[in-house]
Structure 1
Amino acid sequence: MANVIFITGPTRSGKSRRAVETAQAWGDDVVFVATYRSDPDDAEMADRVRRHRAERNAKWRTLEAPADIAQALADLRPAPSGVVIDSLALWLGDRFDQDDASLIAAWEHQLDRFNAAPYPVIIVGDEIGWAPVPIDRALRRFRDLAGILGQRTAARASEAWLMVAGCSVRLK
């Protein structure tokens, strides 16, 4: 079984659906790691979260935005049969106040732990750099860091998939 699977693609391409479908084969002991911190004032995002929850197995455990994903997973009893992390861009956005080197090092540390885990891990990424170069400096930085973290994740994953219009393309 693959240890780390990376599923990436543009917005609304079917990444999360594909991740959940893949993880269903691992049974009821899957852990879903939601990297988004709830904002009570964002009704549209709350609706997105509700829809995503409805798409996955109700018996799965959910970890919401743990500071250290790998450590939170290691602390779980019983250990999961597999993990879905959705998404890398939301993880990045939650830590965007850190400098680039710290963010990259923190993600590399997570990847080390995911690759050493005794269960498979699916990481959902986001291809956000397919549009024109953003005018805003912070948006350019976010786009660049998301690309760097995506490249590093794909390089360390045993499988990498691109989702486009609901169709999957195997990258490796």
Structure 2
Amino acid sequence: MNLTLITGGARAGKSTFAERLARESGGLSDVWYVATAEAGDTDMAARITAHRAKRPPDWSTLETPRHVAASLASFRAAPARVILVDCLTMLVSNVLLSQPEAAGFEVIWEAVEREVDGLLDFVKANQTLVIVVTNEVGSGVVPATRLGCIYRDLLGRANMKLAAAATDVYLVVAGIPIVVKSDTAQRQGAIA
């Protein structure tokens, strides 16, 4: 499987590292950037604007808050060598918030798992390197709300599922990527 997962805390440099990997692997024109964030408030709108501005203009951008695999399958840009999904954190949040308030955890997990499985199926069916950015939300304070706890647990499960399938996994701390898993390096005889 040609999947790289990049995780870490908020503002740790995950997206910057992911974009560097995408540039190194796909060049300037062979990258699709999949943005999952929605501008729900002025802070998020400003973040989205900043992300758009720093992205190379030759990259094709697909903005899709949910149904990432289906959106990728119908995207009409030239085929890419690299697809960068930024980020799973927002995708899981979007799925969670789209569910009825009374939905139980397992029902919501099924919706999240459909997204994750769809992405994994897309990766298996294509020769494209897919880089997924996500957050480690379970390393900090226990969320104060029920919704926060559900979100942490959903994202934790989604992260574990993608990490198990990924060829390479990086943890970014203070802008420094740390190799957590590297099947690529092991196949090439390198020490990870």
Residues 84-95 of structure 1 mapped to structure 2, 5 A cutoff:
84-95=84-95
CA distance in 2, matches of 1:90, 1:8: 13
Contact 1:129/1:147 (CA < 8 Å) preserved in 2? yes
Contact 2:95/2:111 (CA < 8 Å) preserved in 1? no
Residue identity (%): 34
Q: CA deviation at 1:52?
A: 1.4
Aligned residues: 169
**Residue matched to 1:19:** 18
CA distance in 2, matches of 1:51, 1:152: 30
Structure-2-length-normalised TM-score? 0.82
- Structure 1: stretches of 5+ with no match in the other structure: none
- Structure 2: stretches of 5+ with no match in the other structure: 100-107, 182-192
Contact 2:81/2:128 (CA < 8 Å) preserved in 1? yes
1:135 partner letter: A
| 1:26-65 deviation line (CA, Å, top 9, x unaligned) | 12121100001233xx222111112212222111111111
Runs of 4+ in 1 over 4 A off after TM superposition: none
Q: CA deviation at 1:66?
A: 5.3
Secondary structure class of the residue paired with 1:63: strand
CA distance in 1, matches of 2:111, 2:72: 21
Which of 105-114 and 15-24 deviates more?
A: 105-114
Contact 1:88/1:125 (CA < 8 Å) preserved in 2? yes
Query: CA RMSD, aligned part only?
Result: 1.5
Residue 146 (structure 2) pairs with residue 137 (structure 1)? yes
**Residue matched to 1:117:** 126
| 1:59-80 deviation line (CA, Å, top 9, x unaligned) | 1111111542223222334211
Which of 42-51 and 136-145 deviates more?
A: 42-51
